[in-house]
A and B are shown apart, each in its own frame.
Chain A
């Protein structure tokens, strides 16, 4: 091994190599960057005067061939809308997680049966969208929510030339907007209008209950709506619930309840057992399904000491109705909550 400094000529050759490589690498980098940051044209499908131009929930302008026959749906909430609009036959792929049970990671048994979902429809989305699963379905359209990484979906949309529409309502009213949008997209506007009317009816009922309670000067019942309990003895035992800006919080307000976590600093706070005891909700509603049962919450801190539990005012609700922003949340979840909180006004 020689430690003599390189000769002058070898030093010049070295620098020539550096310059050449740097230029080539820069050229590759610029070219690759241009491809990577390619601005996809507004119409991701062959342009046609009959294309449907729409703005999705993230403000993205998307142009789609009308009434696409092969659609991949990447969120159970969207699947709920598609089925209610009679569009099940258009769905060729749905989201799943093969590392955690495939379809059953995202859909419960009832949904899998009623919606006739099969493993062949699986498009793995965890930890990232499986491009092969997607491409193998030869989709004309992807419908997704923000539960999947949007950037990942957008990149797949651009790379594989599949239009992407993001349906991610930020409020209960947004669910109605999305139903209307799907109606336009699949040319079923009258069916969508009927579904919207049903949704408005359910919301109207909730408004009537609220008006009645307000006129009567009734104090709204305190509510803990929890979707998971971390057991006593764990590192951080407590009840995960919904704070400001969440659908869970909106549901409680629509059902004329007073959420004990309405003033939380973060959207999904965890309340300790002592916090729940101090806030003393009159009603506790806990989400079940996907492995969560009553025993999950019974293992939570101070569960047996909570007055609502001791008074028999702790009720189970299918987690889908409080986590999925879809028509079922309004048509099933909301009336259920109304009945729990105001049984005399809303008989079961």
Chain B
């Protein structure tokens, strides 16, 4: 909550907190109250309009996008950690990030539809992410496919897609910078329209995931026990992986690759509310939203008047926590009993 109040104050243009609050109230009341949000500052109407646009059309959409993307990645990460019963699983485990990157890179590096890139980049990234997940799940339909082979198929897809990306980069090295920034993740160019699209995808995916949270609990007991309790472990796994990929694809399409949020948030949630996924998933979403919002604010504060890729900050915070996980691992419900 404190972050939600603090975030609109962060940016390259210094705006007094009172003015920010007045602008938000002005917009929420359709311009009725207060009538002049910039009062008592002695600035003209066009300068005031600029401040209104900065707060309402630039800062707030970015804040909302951070919340939505953080929640989406945390939902997906928590689900995958439950499905694979591995606390180190994250939303990009199955090559989803590589598929999304290749999709976005096609636009950056081949200059496809340059003028419509802001429409095509999220679309191609989304298609790339889901297509990768789809290929892996199709391979998983084989009767000999196990959870481990599913993971290894994801690793293989990561490799071939990374090689594809390198070929594209060789063709147009001048596009390297755009691809690099996309790989580092960022909430640039957030608009209310983008927020709405991510919200719609997250809402649909989250509801289905929450309804399936009970099955996630059952899966923790192992495939044989799950089967005996009436839960088909393979079909549940495939459905949950698809839902997690769907939610991740929405996040990645509009924010690039942002690591560690989906890894860390479920762990924090489990420490807070235990191992019942009906509680872990929503709490992880809240933690993920707060974490990404904090990283977004930090990304604007380190170098004045510039916004660094938010993935840098999630990595700086996530890496020490990841190392802590490795050296302080103790048996958890997520790992099951073997």
> Could you say which of A5, A129, A130, A150 contacts B230, with CB atoms under 8 Å apart?
A5
Cα A18 to Cα B177 with chains together (Å): 42
Decide if B191 touches A98 in the complex (CB within 8 Å).
no
A99-B308, A138-B46 known; A18+B193 contact, CB < 8 A: no
- Closest-CB distance, B236 to chain A (whole angstroms): 13
A133-B13, A154-B115 known; A3+B218 contact, CB < 8 A: yes
- Closest-CB distance, B86 to chain A (whole angstroms): 21
> Could you say which of B119, B188, B229 contacts A128, with CB atoms under 8 Å apart?
B188
Decide if B47 touches A138 in the complex (CB within 8 Å).
yes
Decide if A138 touches B50 in the complex (CB within 8 Å).
yes
Decide if B304 touches A98 in the complex (CB within 8 Å).
yes
Decide if A132 touches B203 in the complex (CB within 8 Å).
no
Q: Chain A interface: which of B29-37, B53-61, B324-332?
A: B53-61
- Closest-CB distance, A103 to chain B (whole angstroms): 12
Cα A165 to Cα B122 with chains together (Å): 24
Q: Chain B interface: which of A28-36, A188-196, A286-294?
A: A28-36
Decide if A151 touches B218 in the complex (CB within 8 Å).
no
Cα A36 to Cα B172 with chains together (Å): 29
A36-B197, A159-B191 known; A135+B50 contact, CB < 8 A: yes
Decide if A151 touches B119 in the complex (CB within 8 Å).
yes
**Secondary structure of the A contact surface, majority rule:** helix
Q: Chain A interface: which of B158-166, B204-212, B241-249?
A: B204-212
Taking CB atoms, residues of chain A closer than 8 Å to B119 are: 36-37, 151
Cα A150 to Cα B118 with chains together (Å): 8
Q: Which residue of B lies closest to A35 (CB)?
A: B193
Cα A98 to Cα B189 with chains together (Å): 17
Cα A226 to Cα B140 with chains together (Å): 50
A18-B208, A151-B120 known; A133+B12 contact, CB < 8 A: yes
Decide if B172 touches A267 in the complex (CB within 8 Å).
yes
- Closest-CB distance, A266 to chain B (whole angstroms): 6
Q: Tally the A-B contacts, defined by beta carbons under 8 Å.
A: 163
Q: Which residue of B lies closest to A3 (CB)?
A: B229
**Secondary structure of the B contact surface, majority rule:** helix
- Closest-CB distance, B58 to chain A (whole angstroms): 4
- The answer to whether A127 has its CB under 8 Å from any CB of chain B is yes
Cα A146 to Cα B306 with chains together (Å): 21
Cα A61 to Cα B200 with chains together (Å): 33
Q: Chain B interface: which of A19-27, A178-186, A248-256?
A: A19-27
Cα A132 to Cα B53 with chains together (Å): 8
Taking CB atoms, residues of chain A closer than 8 Å to B192 are: 32, 35
Taking CB atoms, residues of chain B closer than 8 Å to A12 are: none
A-B contact pairs, 13 of them (CB 8 A): A5-B230, A18-B211, A28-B199, A29-B197, A32-B200, A36-B193, A99-B308, A124-B306, A126-B177, A131-B189, A136-B13, A149-B117, A151-B117
Binding site for A on B (CB under 8 A): 11-13, 46-47, 49-50, 53-54, 57-59, 114-121, 170-174, 177-178, 181, 184, 186, 188-189, 191-197, 199-201, 203-204, 207-208, 211, 214, 217-218, 229-230, 276, 303-309
Binding site for B on A (CB under 8 A): 1, 3, 5-6, 14, 17-18, 21-22, 24-26, 28-29, 31-33, 35-38, 58, 60, 97-99, 122, 124, 126-133, 135-136, 138, 146, 149-152, 154-156, 159-160, 166, 266-268
